[in-house]
Amino acid sequence: MLGLQILIDGFAISSLYALGAIGFTLMFGVSGVLNLSHGAIMVVAAVVAWLFAGSYGAGPYGGALVGVLAGVVTAFATYLLVVRPIQTSRSIPGEEKEIFVLTGTLLWGIMLQEAVAYLFTNNPKTVRPLLPGVVNLLGVRTPTNEIVTAAISWAAIGLLWLLVNRTRTGKTLLAASINPRGLTLLGFELSRIYILVWAIYGVLAGLAGVLLGAFLGVSSDNAGTLTASAFSIVVLGGLGSVSGSLVAAYVVGYLETLTAYLISPSIRTVPVLLLLVVVVYLRPQGLLGRR
Amino acid sequence: MRGGLLGALLAAGLCLPATARAADPIKFGVIAETSAIGGASIPKAAQLAADEINAAGGVNGRKIEIVVYDDHNSAADAVRAFQRAHSEDKVSAVIASYISEVVLALEPWAGRLKMPMITPGAASDDITKRVHNDYDHLKYVFHGYLASTQIADSVCEAGKQLLVKDMKAKTAVVMSEDAAWTLPLDNEYLKCLPQIGVKVIDHIRLSPDTTDFTPIFNKIEGEKPDVIVTGISHVGVQPTVQWQQQQVPIPMFGVSSQATSSTFWKDTNGAANGVVFQMASAPDVAVSPKTIPFAKKYTAKYGVTPAYSGYTAYDDVYMFADAIKRAGSTDADKIVAEMEKTDYVGTLGRIVFLGRDSQFTHGMKVAPGYITGLMEQWQDGKQVTVWPSSAGTAKLAFPKFVKLGQ
């Protein structure tokens, strides 16, 4: 019974982690940007969904939709206001640009977090579940919303896979991650590819934020933790490796769930961090990393 | 003649700054985390009280000015704000925080800088115990809210009727967040619950950083208690929403500070329905003739009902203002001497501070006729009072998934 409970809860949380981390790793793989405002973008999406579903009467579906849209808008704001000016700047030497992007997105994330706290308090908000109620899964009372969360996460990941592997546009993304200079020589415009990747990233981060808001609730205080958790998953899986991130998301999700159920919820994240230290020592390229 | 002129000039010269000083506002510092439910109410309610006092002519001809500092729930930020309030902004008294850890960090500074201070919301017993043990040094500190032990006693007192008779509860699990204020709270729960006939079968202290409460509810459900007795303030929205989403069949009863503001209903999308929580004053109960008018005024001005710390912060401004009026001065020692003589009917009830002999020195007297607790419940978007029956406007009602003891 407890085993089944752990299996179900672990699956739901791991799917959500996978969705949250996959955009983060895609972004790094294609455009080389480590976006440290990732968690804050998720928080903005969740809070906007909460606001529209509750105060503006958009209902759970309308709220979720506006939330995802807010994720996309915030992602573009991040790109256009922070990342692109750094990338195109002539006064920042090329080799320092990565550091500038890291610092820039980190500060931008703090600004977003503080803005949310100022406008809506740092108290957690919960997004209305798309499907309320519970179902009985082999004797385990499971909120329907938990199943919806896992299903939507996997549907989104599946669509991403189809996009990348089965469409021409997706293949240019893949090519950009392997050899961006080659791609420009073939006549593709990198800036267009970057805009596309930020759009996909915005949808993924927005969706992850909204689902997390409906599943556990989100507070502006969580922004840093959410970025850190995506970062750990991506490092564990191998920077830029999408399949590595998926595997790592499940390792992290289940390790946390096992710890919370079998040891104590208070030390939920500790074993994952220890594992991360071990992996960085023994296999710095991550579980499935190439480099 | 010349001497007279000189004298007049001298007198005028001496008088001028003196009159200017008299017209200067009396400043009160308010230190709180303004982005949290409990913290946000403090400066807002204090400002409301100051506006009322100023509209009525101020204190000894001087206006009251509220200076707000956001401490971001950090003791270090709060101490810096306190020092700034003293040395730069020259406030006459400070109203500080609803977090015990923050207030305990400020307490020695109130002593060192001789700055009268009151907390409208922190609950740790240690706040007044320290005043008791080191009176000469820490007499500047007053406790404007119930101490944890008093809160637990108030929950148990209400439990005689609500838990034992109405909910037929025989067993309980105590679930509290790991914080300074819950240490004495839990100790008292473990003592007083068995005394009213409710056996405590487990005691869970959860980390305030917890986001997923499923494993905790799962464990509690396995132990089959009739009620979960809560001690939560830093957390609130997430456990409540997850309790409702997972349809945990056990009622929650006790202290849930975030539930005291109407913001809570919105933040939880109504998952708060059925949660029973302790409060000292509520928007629908005439605890004193001042309670309902204050709650109405606050709600009209800010769009939400005040959190528990709002009622107290409002009273605190009035009590300091009265003390300064009686003392005829903003001298710290004189304010303290007058505060000790306080006998004031505020939104919370009749407030009298306990003396040096009490273990709660400068804490509030909790007794019938003074301050008593209330139990409130969220019912369909409204906070209603379910205890005591003299103030009670409603009967307990729980959502369908909750199963009461048989």
Check whether residue B13 and residue B104 sit in a common domain.
yes
Q: Within a domain: residue B233?
A: yes
The overall average pLDDT reported for chain A is 91
A217, two tokens:
């609730």
Quick one: pLDDT at residue B392? 65
Check whether residue B138 and residue B153 sit in a common domain.
no
Q: Within a domain: residue B402?
A: no
Nearest Cα residue in chain B from A56: B266
Which member of B40, B213, B245 has the closest CB to residue A145? B245
B363, two tokens:
């804490």
Q: Within a domain: residue A189?
A: yes
Cβ contact (<8 Å) for B218 and A220? no
Cβ contact (<8 Å) for B269 and A54? yes
Q: Which of A110-119, A188-197, B175-184 has the lowest mean pLDDT?
A: A188-197
Check whether residue B26 and residue B139 sit in a common domain.
yes
User: Which residues fall within 8 angstroms of residue B347, CB to CB, at 6 or more apart?
Assistant: B281, B287, B288, B290, B291, B294, B295, B311, B312, B314, B315
Q: Within a domain: residue B365?
A: no
Among candidate residues A142, A140, A63, A261, the one with its CA nearest the CA of residue B220: A261
Check whether residue B242 and residue B196 sit in a common domain.
yes
Quote the CA–CA distance of B29 and A119 in Å, as a whole number. Answer: 23
Cβ contact (<8 Å) for B268 and A126? yes
Q: Within a domain: residue A227?
A: no
Nearest Cα residue in chain A from B221: A141
Quick one: pLDDT at residue B1? 42
**DSSP assignment string, A195-262:** HHHHHHHHHHHHHHHHHHHHHT-B-GGGHHHHHHHHHHHHHHH-TT-HHHHHHHHHHHHHHHHHIIII
Quick one: pLDDT at residue A1? 77
Cβ contact (<8 Å) for A265 and B267? no
Q: Within a domain: residue B2?
A: no
Nearest Cα residue in chain B from A115: B35
Cβ contact (<8 Å) for B35 and A5? no
pLDDT in tens, B139-158: 999 999 999 999 999 999 99
Cβ contact (<8 Å) for B36 and A123? yes
Check whether residue B172 and residue B211 sit in a common domain.
yes
- What domain range includes position A148? 19-221
Which member of A118, A143, A216 has the closest CB to residue B35? A118
Q: Within a domain: residue A64?
A: yes
Quote the CA–CA distance of A282 and B359 in Å, as a whole number. Answer: 58
To the nearest whole Å, the CA of A12 is away from the closest chain B CA by 12
Quote the CA–CA distance of B327 and A243 in Å, as a whole number. Answer: 73
Q: Does A123 score more than 60 pLDDT?
A: yes
Q: Residue B315: helix, strand or coil by DSSP? A: helix
Q: Which of A100-109, B11-20, B53-62 has the lowest mean pLDDT?
A: B11-20
Cβ contact (<8 Å) for B266 and A55? yes
Q: Within a domain: residue A49?
A: yes
Q: Which residues in A lie closer than 8 A to residue B269 (C-beta atoms)?
A: 50, 53-54, 126-128
- What domain range includes position B169? 149-280+373-387
Q: Within a domain: residue B23?
A: yes
State the total domains in chain A: 1
Nearest Cα residue in chain B from A125: B267
- Residues paired with residue B387 on neighbouring β-strands, in sequence order: B375
CATH number at residue B219: 3.40.50.2300
To the nearest whole Å, the CA of A123 is away from the closest chain B CA by 6
Give residue ranges of B with CB < 8 Å to any A CB: 35-37, 40, 178, 206-207, 209-216, 218, 236-238, 241-242, 245-247, 258, 263, 266-269, 271
Quick one: pLDDT at residue A10? 94
- Residues paired with residue B199 on neighbouring β-strands, in sequence order: B171
Under the banding of pLDDT at 50, 70 and 90, the label for residue B17 is very low
Which member of A122, A217, A266 has the closest CB to residue B241? A217
Residues 81-140 of A with CB under 8 A from B: 117-118, 121-129, 132, 134
Which member of B210, B246, B267 has the closest CB to residue A134? B246
Quick one: pLDDT at residue B13? 47
Q: Which residues in A lie closer than 8 A to residue B246 (C-beta atoms)?
A: 134, 141, 143
Q: Within a domain: residue B240?
A: yes
Q: What is the mean pLDDT of residues A208-227?
A: 92
A263, two tokens:
């040891």
Check whether residue B134 and residue B168 sit in a common domain.
no
Check whether residue B39 and residue B136 sit in a common domain.
yes
Cβ contact (<8 Å) for A216 and B266? no
Cβ contact (<8 Å) for A124 and B237? yes
Q: Within a domain: residue A44?
A: yes
Q: Does A240 score more than 90 pLDDT?
A: no
Which member of A121, A216, A261 has the closest CB to residue B36? A121
CB atoms within 10 A of CB A69: 17
Check whether residue B154 and residue B94 sit in a common domain.
no
Torsion of the alpha carbons at B174, B178, B179 and B185, rounded to the nearest 10: 20
User: Which residues fall within 8 angstroms of residue A232, CB to CB, at 6 or more apart?
Assistant: A252, A272, A273, A276
Q: What angle do CA A204, A209, A215 make, to 5 degrees?
A: 125
A238 phi-psi bin (left φ>0, alpha ψ -120 to 50, beta other): left
Q: Within a domain: residue B378?
A: yes
Q: Within a domain: residue B381?
A: yes
The overall average pLDDT reported for chain B is 91
Check whether residue B174 and residue B276 sit in a common domain.
yes
State the total domains in chain B: 2
Check whether residue B120 and residue B40 sit in a common domain.
yes
pLDDT in tens, B279-325: 888 888 888 999 999 999 999 999 988 989 999 999 999 999 999 99
Q: Which residues in B lie closer than 8 A to residue A216 (C-beta atoms)?
A: 211-212, 238, 242
